Structure formats: C-alpha cells, structure tokens
Structure 1
Amino acid sequence: MSDAADRWLAAHARTLDTLDPGAPYADLEPLRGVLRDVKIVGLGESTHGTREFFRLKHRVLEFLVRDMGCTVLAMEAGESAARAVDAYVCHGVGDPTRLIARLGFWTWRTEEMLDIVEWMRTHNLGVPADRRVRFVGIDPQLSADSVAALGSYLGQVAPERAADMAELEVLARARPGTGPDPEQRLLHRARSVAGFLDDNRAKFAELTSPQAAAEAVEHARILCRSADLVTRSLDPGSPQDNVFAVRDRYMAEAVARLTDDSGDSGDKGGSAGTAGTVALWAHNGHIAKGAYGNGVPALGSHLRARFGDGYYALGLLFGKGSFRARSANRTQGPGVRHRIGTSLRCVEGRLAAAVPGDYYVDLRAADPSSDGARWLREPSAQRSFGAAVPRLTYRFHLAPLTPAEDYDGLAFVSRSTCSRPLPDLDPEQP
C-alpha cells in the first residue's frame, strides 16, 4: 500500500482509549452514526483465543445494548446448549460457569466469556423484560440438550414415541461431517419427530403448557438441522452443498430468525424474533460479506444479500503477540500458547505501521475515487487462525482479503495475549 493509504488510515482511524469493559465509551461515539440504521452488527475475530478480542467485543456489546437498542448476542455456539445460558442471563437459572462449559466449544470456556455472561445477567436485572439482552446460539451442531429435552418431553406426552430418540442420540456428540447417510435415515427420523410434535402441538399444550409445547418443537427443529449437518460431505468440491456451506447457511438463517417478530418459541431460551439490534459474534471468516477461498459463501454473505446495508461486518485483527489455539492433532484441552510477530506480508502489517496503538476504522466512509482509499478494493491477505492450527506452519496462515468487499469496518489491536481458560470442570468435554 502507498503513502496515500497510510494517510487515509491516519485520517479515518478512531483511537480506542481502552479495551476494558465498563469504561466510559466516548471513543465509541462515532459508531452511533455509523450503526444508526444497522440491524445486525457482525463482530469478528482473526483468532478464537485472543483476550483483547473478547474484551473489546464485550465493551462494544455494552455500548450496543445501552445506547443502540441491541437485545440479542448471537454466538457461534450450539443452538441447543446456548438456551440454558439464555435462561441464566434472563432468569438467573443455573451456574454460569458450568453452562458455558456445556456449550461444547473450548474456545468459549474462558474467564472473558464468563465476564460477558455475568454482565448480561446484571444488566437484565435492572431493565424491563422486553429490554433484556439475550444469549442465543446459532450453530446446530452438538445438540445434547435438545436430545435430552425431547426424550423427557416425549416420555411425558407420548411414551410410544420416546423410542424414536434412540437413533437421534448420536446428535448429542457428533460433529459436522461425521459420516454420510445415503438414505438420510437420521434426518428423516428427526423430521418425523418434529412433524409429530408440530401436528399435536395444541393437544400437548393442554397436557403441559403452550410454552413447553413450543420449546419441544424448537428442540426438534434444532435436531433436524443438526442431523442434516452431521451427515453432509466434507468434500470442498461441492461448495454449495458441503458441510461448510450448509453450516454457514444455517447460522445465517438463525440470525435472520432473530430479526423476525413472528417467532413463537417463547421467552425462556427460545429463538423468537426481536425488534432490537442483533450483535453477531463469530470468526472473521464467518462474518465476512464474501466467500471463503474455496468458494463457499460465508454467513455474512447471506446476511448482506438479505439485509443489504442493514448488516455491518466489523473484522477484528491484531498486530503481534500470542493467542490460544489447539494443535491440529489434539482433540482435548483448552489450547496452548502460539506466538506471532508483525508481518508486512499481510494487511495487519500495514495497519500496525500506519497508526500506532488500538483503533477502529469505518470502511463505508471511504471515497472510492480517492487514491488513499484505493487499497480497500485491491486484493490483499489477512491472518486467519481457527480453533486448531498446525504446530509449526501456523505463522504462514493467510486468507485472501479485499477489505471493502469483505468488511464494513476494521478494529485493530496492536498486541494480542492469550484468553484465560476457566477451570476444567469436566474432562470429557470436547
């Protein structure tokens, strides 16, 4: 990038006074105008194990909730288990540390996530029910809570159908792409249970309650999505139908449902629509407005197609430091420290060189005809690390990037440190 690009960044960058939640947010005030007409704010991250990303997103969430009408935090976490976290933040039910551990993602079992959940609970204690901020999972994998809830409910209202759950128990622990099911037996079984509960909802509502019947239907729908995801192909050669494409499509649909006021899942842990803004928390790869390198449309691309400028994608990048991730050959544990320095081979190097410290920049403000903004529409590269990385070659992990096509804004943290894991309450947790 040219000196003109550096000057453009220096002119448009908004310095972050602090990354600490709870601090005054005069430095975030410019976001009020930027996000005025935005319905969904995508909050990305280039690693799942950077403490500063958790802290900054916590701080932005506070701003969105208190000043921008945000009523939902939509997480890249299991739809099924997140319902129990939602029950805690809305009603104080359960132990938040254990509920976070049950989400099934080691990346979220951190002190920083516990701080966020506890803040949501404290906030909700002081506001009317219609202004509570909710915690909603959007990923249909790892559906143990839905398997257990449906088994119990069917045992109560239709014992003769309880045996149907035996085949669906695999969905409690199966990961996407676990294995093909040519005859789609698992998906057919899940749809059969969902159809049965939906057809008999009025009768079962009288036996239990309307809310309990609606909850059961929603759990069954989660299992339908989970069954479809589990049995999809991992083959990247089918970019519209493989497990990666379907996962992002399901997550986009889950976010869209949160904006639909016709939802019928009830207040406690459901996925009914909301009239407020949705904060979407996921990896940069998911929240981006384009496609992955293999042509798979990202979650954010679906949201941009449906909501236009009502979706705002904020990518989070860092200059140097350390982050937590599992080594690629490990399936257990909270991840280990990985270190990386500043590199001019990627956009992070230029962001670090152009403006010192931590800051954010609104890319929608760029005049496309200016020399300084030309780099926003030129192909580049960004660093991208998943929950697991190769032991030695992770430093060379780059993903394609055209800044203005992939993101609406960028937040840059100069130094990354490792997120802090919660105590391992259950060694069998994945």
Structure 2
Amino acid sequence: MAIDITDGVRSIGAAAVRELLPARPRLLALGEPTHGEEALLHLRNDLFRQLVEEEGYRTIALETDCMAGLVVDEHVGSDGTGSASGTGTGTGSGTGTASGTAPGAGTLDEVMERGFSHGWGAFAANRELVRWMRAHNEGRPASDRVRFAGFDGPLEITHAASPRQALTALHGYLAARVDADLLPCTAETLDRLLGTDDRWTEPAAMTDPTRSAGRSAEARELRLLADDLVALLDAHAPYLITRTSREDLDRARLYGRTATGLLRYHHAMADPSLARMTRLCMLRDLMMARNLLALAARGPVLVHA
C-alpha cells in the first residue's frame, strides 16, 4: 500500500510549541524530514502565522540565499503605498506602487524568481507565505511588520557566487558616508580585481580545485580589502547609525559577512587537500550560523531548513 507523506502530517500550534519550552527562544527551528513537500511547507506557514499573532515573532528565515532574500523582504515590507521597511538591495531604487510592485522587488512573480535560491521560488506554499506576509504588513508601522530573511550564503551545490554584489554594496555604503581617504580602495580597484563573474562561478571549480580563482593574486588582495572594509564599518558604526539607521547598518553588515564568507569559501575551493570538502561544508555552516545570530539579535525568529 502506497503511503503519502500527507498521511503523517499533523498541524502543530504555537501554544503547543510554547508548552515544550521554558521560555520563548530567540531562534525556533523547524526542520523538514525531506525537501520539496508542499504539505510540510503549508504546516510551516500555519505555525509562523500563529507565532506572529500569539507569540510576537516577526521574522521567518529560510535556508535560501541571504542576498536574494533581501528582494523578498523588500517586497513584503512594502505597505502598499511604496514605503518599505528597508532602503534597497542595491539592485534598484524605484518607488513601489499599490499595483503589486515594491522598491527593488517588482511583481510577485519576479520576487519568487529572484528572491529565492535552490528552486524554492517555484513552491506554491512559499508563494503563499510571501503573499500573506505582504498583506499582513499593509498599514502597519515598520516596527510591527513581519520580515523575511534567507540565511544561507549565495551558494549552490554546483558553484559559489561571485563576491561582487556583496563587496561592491558594502563599499558603496561606506563610500557614501565616510571620508574617501579612509577607504582602503576605490570602486574601480574592486572592479578590476573582481574581473568577470564567470571566473568565480565556474562550475568545474567545485570538483577541480585548479579551476578555482580563490587563491589567485587578485583573490588574496580582495580578502584583505574586504577585511579592511568590514573593520571600517565596525569602527564607524555609532556614526553610521546616526547618518542612516540601524536597519541600514545591519544590511551593510550582511554585505560584509557575505563578502568575506564568499572569499573564504572560494579560497577553500582552490584547496587541493583531502580536507577540501570538509572545509567547504564547515565554511557554509559558519556563514549560516553568523546570519542566524544577526537575525536573532533583532528579535525572535522562526527558522526553517
């Protein structure tokens, strides 16, 4: 007799979860026994809605690209009048409208395509989640809106992303707000060192370390520059909060974590030793952990992986 996974799925309420724990956790993790089952994703959605309404949760974090997730967060953060909880992802700065667009996010179809990695945008339950979050946020002050986050790095099993997006976004944030003499390099220098993106995303590099650009002279210099940019960001944090906002600073810190994490990951991809894959898995886990810690610092989070 064939058994469908839905035969074993049972809903779980926020109250039942609360009774299992001595106090409300900052990170509440919901694991799935297998990927790709819509029934499990709908169960997650139901639990998140209850946690928002009954337990004060305001963020859901999925195991998807943290940079792409900014597109989703911008979309759900729009209040329907063009106002959003963030200030942009670096991919666009248009003004949203009530017709279904948000700053830098576009239509729901575009958000599902651009805002998720690993194919997660194709799932109906994830689409339902995004639609509900946006509707829930309409008319609410920014402090009471629900937020979306990806906590994985911009990584796939077949390749790693170029550090360009995160590194140039971090540099741009700082260049607009601190003295140019304090910056370790110009945007033009970064562009020259980064080169073309395909040298970073080369699929063969996942199995052949000699095909990776991660230990090139340019990559070594970029790692130093990324570290210097993150140090500059941290050193000027009190000033930057007054010039922008905590939200903007948190996003810049995400850019910094992602840029340094990707460059470290690419360096490990060029490792010819037997420890190569172990190190890559460890570094990916480290990127996830640091993103989750940053999310927990702003309030309770439901994590789904």
Higher share in strand: 1
Which of 42, 46, 65 matches 1:59? 46
Which of 237, 262, 265 matches 1:229? 265
The alpha-carbon deviation at position 256 of structure 1 amounts to 2.0
Tell me how large the CA RMSD over aligned residues is. Answer: 3.8
Q: Secondary structure at the match of 2:32?
A: coil
User: 1:209 matched to which residue of 2?
Assistant: 244
Is 1:16 equivalent to 2:10 in the alignment?
yes
Which of 132, 141, 164 matches 2:189? 164
Q: How does 1:75-90 map to 2 (within 5 A)?
A: 75-90=62-77
The alpha-carbon deviation at position 37 of structure 1 amounts to 2.0
User: 1:188 matched to which residue of 2?
Assistant: 224
Task: Give the TM-score of the pair, scaled to structure 2.
Answer: 0.65
Q: How does 1:134-145 map to 2 (within 5 A)?
A: 134-141=147-154, 142=161, 145=165
Deviation readout 1:179-237 (Å, 9 max, x if unpaired): 3427761422321333344456677778x735697244542332112211232248895
Q: Secondary structure at the match of 1:45?
A: coil
Rg larger in structure: 1
State the distance in 2 between where 1:83 and 1:101 align.
Answer: 13
Deviation readout 1:68-93 (Å, 9 max, x if unpaired): 22221112122222123212222353
State the distance in 2 between where 1:146 and 1:78 align.
Answer: 12
Deviation readout 1:353-394 (Å, 9 max, x if unpaired): xxxxxxxxxxxxxxxxxxxxxxxxxxxxxxxxxxxxxxxxxx
Q: 1:162 to 1:145 in 2, by over 3 A?
A: closer
**Deviating more after overlay: 68-77 vs 170-179:** 170-179
Q: 1:255 to 1:46 in 2, by over 3 A?
A: same
Corresponding residue pairs, total:
246
User: 1:149 matched to which residue of 2?
Assistant: 169
User: 2:92 matched to which residue of 1?
Assistant: none
User: 1:419 matched to which residue of 2?
Assistant: none
Q: Secondary structure at the match of 1:80?
A: coil
User: 2:110 matched to which residue of 1?
Assistant: 98
User: 1:367 matched to which residue of 2?
Assistant: none
State the distance in 1 between where 2:120 and 2:235 align.
Answer: 37
State the distance in 2 between where 1:90 and 1:102 align.
Answer: 16
User: 2:58 matched to which residue of 1?
Assistant: 71
State the distance in 1 between where 2:237 and 2:132 align.
Answer: 36
Q: How does 1:107-122 map to 2 (within 5 A)?
A: 107-110=119-122, 111-122=124-135
State the distance in 2 between where 1:171 and 1:221 align.
Answer: 22
Q: 1:240 to 1:82 in 2, by over 3 A?
A: same
Structure 1: stretches of 5+ with no match in the other structure: 1-13, 18-24, 261-272, 283-430
State the distance in 2 between where 1:140 and 1:15 align.
Answer: 30
Contact 1:147-1:171 within 8 A present in 2 as well: no
Q: 1:250 to 1:147 in 2, by over 3 A?
A: closer
State the distance in 1 between where 2:39 and 2:240 align.
Answer: 47
Q: 1:28 to 1:222 in 2, by over 3 A?
A: closer
Q: 1:69 to 1:119 in 2, by over 3 A?
A: same
Q: 1:204 to 1:45 in 2, by over 3 A?
A: closer
Deviation readout 1:83-105 (Å, 9 max, x if unpaired): 23212222353324323322351
Q: Aligned AA for 1:255? A: L
Structure 2: stretches of 5+ with no match in the other structure: 1-7, 80-101, 155-160, 207-211
User: 2:280 matched to which residue of 1?
Assistant: 243
Contact 2:60-2:147 within 8 A present in 1 as well: yes
Q: Secondary structure at the match of 1:70?
A: coil
Q: 1:236 to 1:115 in 2, by over 3 A?
A: farther
Q: 1:228 to 1:68 in 2, by over 3 A?
A: same
